A and B are shown apart, each in its own frame.
Chain A
């Protein structure tokens, strides 16, 4: 696209439209509401339930050590984490990584967070009490705290993240992977992988699982600002498994539009961390490409196959024809613009 003076500040709606960018209103109105019936939300919004579903389907998930369901259970935490060097406490109904406490190690009686801060048992219990009170759950309703296994990530992806576990987000429509990105932490994001807190989003090529584009705060970058490590051209380990797990999330939840969050464990391999029924749109920035064209292609394919395609067929379509068609459309649009 020709550079205009206003591009320093904004793009016009027409320009965004030509780039195929999907906005929040379009996501909600066109993809989320029609494809995600309300009754399916429960299975993803309650993570205890989605974990049970995943185990039934043999999908690898971090082991659940136990749940804290009432203030009376708070004393149970010490017993649950006994002998566990590292663990995670998170709300069953949290969203966007809110209220997730990651303990990566111990030093005497103290627990160590990823950032190096140490917490006492009392503080850990207080965090669980906040979860029970509904501080992090949608709408502030009462919640359950989950104590689960800590996954230490594979070195290949850990090399791109500053003190914090990176995860892969795959956006799916009708069970077809549409776009993927790796989210890695920076010093600014304080160990978290939330893009609006300064984490880096790295676009991944669906076909190969190789990173090809990266943004921090919306600006394209190539090198990690804190680690100086190369962000582009990196192979995500076990890419076939990552896509297969993402694909299985569709069978598991029945959600037509979803985001699968997958962590790549050092020895245990890829694991589903969370299924999101309302995945955000930052993945477009991370890939430098709008979602709309790909959504359209997948939608047509799903109609053509009358929604009967098997997991393998869907993944093969996404890794082959989808990426090629999207590229063609992009090229022809650029041609037309010229």
Chain B
């Protein structure tokens, strides 16, 4: 691909460098930024549906190519789901499970939520492209768009999660050390993701947290629990 060289390549390199910087800032959850105005907690008797997590794990080869790893992803999905269900903050109220195949019927609301989450991620959490009319508050709603999800599950709230993770292989780690000698910082693998809590009566996103970091490991159960912990930091309990 000859055209990858030239101005496009350097723009991309610059971009990646900045991305690394952004990643380096581990964003700590601030109560006001993660919560919609006026929302504090879920009622004790509320029902929560956990939408199947959208997870993808990659291995990064020496040359920086991402290779999808089904074994890691399958393991991560299991560990992640278990960690979610066991998480203290999610307890209280009752939980409703939704299976992957149920998503066929709910594809439109799921796709819509994906677009909403991207907007929140970009315009609210990243801190660089804020929308002035939002007044720095978490103010997004899917309105009556959540009706089908509410009816199908009978739940009051829905938790959506999304994670993309890449891990440096042994060759990659070696390459990182080698390049560091020349003063070039290579991305070694990174984890980005979000968790979003939607009130199914109003369609409002009432809580949102994102993760952007160069650490974390979803492949092992213990570490996966740590990722869930980071993702659900400040998750509003039910009381």
Q: Do A and B bind each other?
A: no
- Residues of B at the A interface (CB closer than 8 Å) are none
- Residues of A at the B interface (CB closer than 8 Å) are none
